[in-house]
Each structure stands twice: as structure tokens, then as C-alpha cells.
Amino acid sequence: MTTFRSKVRETDTAHDAGSPCLLFVDDDRDIQVAARLLFQRRRIKILSAYDAAEALTLLASHPVDLVLLDLNYTKGARTGAEGLALLKDMLVLRRDLPVLVVTGHSGVSIAVEAMRTGATDFVMKPWNNDRLVSLVTSVLEKCGRNNGFDVEPVLITASDAIKQIVSEADRIAPTRACVLISGPSGVGKMLLARRIQDLSSEASAAQSFSAEDCGDLPQEGGVWICREIEALSPTLQRRLTDRLDGSAPPRLIALSSLDFAQR
């Protein structure tokens, strides 16, 4: 396995500082993952909160442009009361904060009440992806935060260190070698992985997944890009080893924020 360790300055990282930031409040991890995949493809940063305390902490500590709030964000909730209470707390912190509420069990009436409380609009669950994206895009445009939707992040090779890393990545890209890319968050590990995929001989698109949210490995082969590989459970580690040792193994591009050279 080829290993890259990122030794880059701030100017060598991916440009995502201008991307809009969406805070999504819902306790369902599967729905959180689906939303993350939906919006990350559109260059919208997603912050995930699973309860009220986490949501308020993230709101107070991050430049959130828009909140997507499930009115029944904990398991078993049906009335929407907890969502309304959190909505009020959020608007105390940020009076002008755009909030889209998500409702399913509670119906339209509670969504209307949320809008009277200060919500911008509502979405019914299960949502339609096109409708949700259109609504989020519209709200962000009104806030002047639509920059980044159609802009591909770029890997800036300003230093000799990153030039050397990119050159080595280009060299091994056409091979079937598995790759480990390590470095701090934000240095462009995913961009480097995508570059390797783009220059590889694989015809199909890479399958990207996070070890932290992974319940099982992809069923198909091809190229796998696994983020935070160190978080993969022991069970999935064994399955991954079996797949890599199999007759038609995937090409694994593993990403990690750990510095394995120091371990």
C-alpha cells in the first residue's frame, strides 16, 4: 500500500471556506448520512446534530447559514413540541437565522405553527431530494450564501512538499495499488483521492463512504474511498481484509487524520 502524509501549509488546502454551512438536527444517522451525501455533492458543508444541546453548541461555535430542523428529532417523538422549543432557543441565539423545519408524524399544522414562531419554510418527510435542494438553494441565495454550489474545490500546489505528493499520486494512479492518505482535517485528502481516481484506469465512479457511519462495506468492487479508516469496526476490518484478499478485490484509497508514522 502506498502511503502519503500531508506536509502542507494552509495555502495548500482545499478551498471550501466560502461554501455555505447547513446545520441538520435529526437523531436518525441514516437520514443524516443521506442528507450529507445530498448536499456535499453541491458543495454545501453539513454539520450534524443529534440533540438540542449539540445543535445549540454547534450553532454558537460555527458560522451556520441555514438550519434544517426535524421537529421530532428524537426517537418516539410525535408532537413536534421539542422541535418548536429548540427553534425558539435557536432564534434567541440568532434572530435572523433561516430555519427549514422537517415534519412527518406531526403534519402540516405543526409546521405552520413553526413558521409563525419564526421558521422560514417547511419540508414534509420523507422529502423529495429535488424539492429539498431547491428550497435550500433558494433560501441560501436570498441570504447571499449561494457561492460554492457549482465551484469545484481545487488542490493548490504552492509548496514543494505538496508538489512532490501530487507527483507521486499521479505516478501510482494508473496502477491497482491501494493507497493510504493521512493528514490533518482540511488539507485536501479527498481531493487527492479524487485525483487518483480520475487518473486511474477504473471506468466506474469511486464509491466513497465514512468508516464512522459505515454499517457494511459496499457490495460492488471498483474503487473504494474510505474516510477515517481508523474508525472502521473490528468486524468490518476483517471483512475488508477478506475482500482485499479475494479474487476480485476493490482498489482501496483510505483516508485518515492520524499520522501513522508517529504511532
Cis previous bond, 98, omega within 30: no
Comparing CA positions, the residue from 73, 58, 59, 57 lying closest to residue 110 is 73
Query: Three-state DSSP class for 224?
Result: strand
Average pLDDT of the chain is 81
CA distance 220 to 233: 20
Q: What is the pLDDT of residue 214?
A: 74
Indicate if the pLDDT at residue 23 is higher than 90.
yes
Q: What is the pLDDT of residue 216?
A: 82
pLDDT tens digits along 186-210: 677 888 888 888 787 765 667 888 8
74-79 long-range CB contacts below 8 Å, 24 or more apart?
74/27, 75/27, 77/105, 78/105, 78/106, 79/106, 79/110
Task: State residue 37 phi and psi, 5-degree precision.
Answer: -65, -40
Indicate if the pLDDT at residue 67 is higher than 90.
yes
Indicate if the pLDDT at residue 88 is higher than 70.
yes
- Mean pLDDT lowest for which of 35-39, 77-81, 83-87, 99-103? 77-81
Q: Which residue segments constitute the domains of the chain, with CATH numbers given?
A: 2-12+154-262 (3.40.50.300), 21-142 (3.40.50.2300)
Comparing CA positions, the residue from 153, 154, 168, 160 lying closest to residue 7 is 160
Query: Three-state DSSP class for 116?
Result: helix
Q: What is the pLDDT of residue 15?
A: 37
Indicate if the pLDDT at residue 11 is higher than 80.
no
Indicate if the pLDDT at residue 259 is higher than 80.
no
What is the band of 109 on the pLDDT scale with cuts at 50, 70, 90?
confident
Q: From the CB of residue 219, how many other CB atoms can be counted at a distance below 10 Å?
A: 6
Q: Which three cell numbers stand for residue 119?
A: 421558521
Q: What is the pLDDT of residue 261?
A: 63
- Of residues 41 and 105, more confidence is placed in 41
Indicate if the pLDDT at residue 7 is higher than 60.
no
Work out the average pLDDT over 102-127: 83
Half-sphere exposure of 86 (CA within 13 A, CB side): 29
CA distance 37 to 208: 10
Calculate the dihedral angle through the C-alpha atoms of 75, 81, 87, 88, rounding to the nearest 10 degrees: -140
- Of residues 8 and 139, more confidence is placed in 139
pLDDT tens digits along 150-183: 444 555 555 777 788 888 988 998 888 999 998 8
Q: What is the pLDDT of residue 48?
A: 92
What is the band of 69 on the pLDDT scale with cuts at 50, 70, 90?
very high
pTM over the 0.85 mark: no
Q: What is the pLDDT of residue 25?
A: 94
What is the band of 79 on the pLDDT scale with cuts at 50, 70, 90?
confident
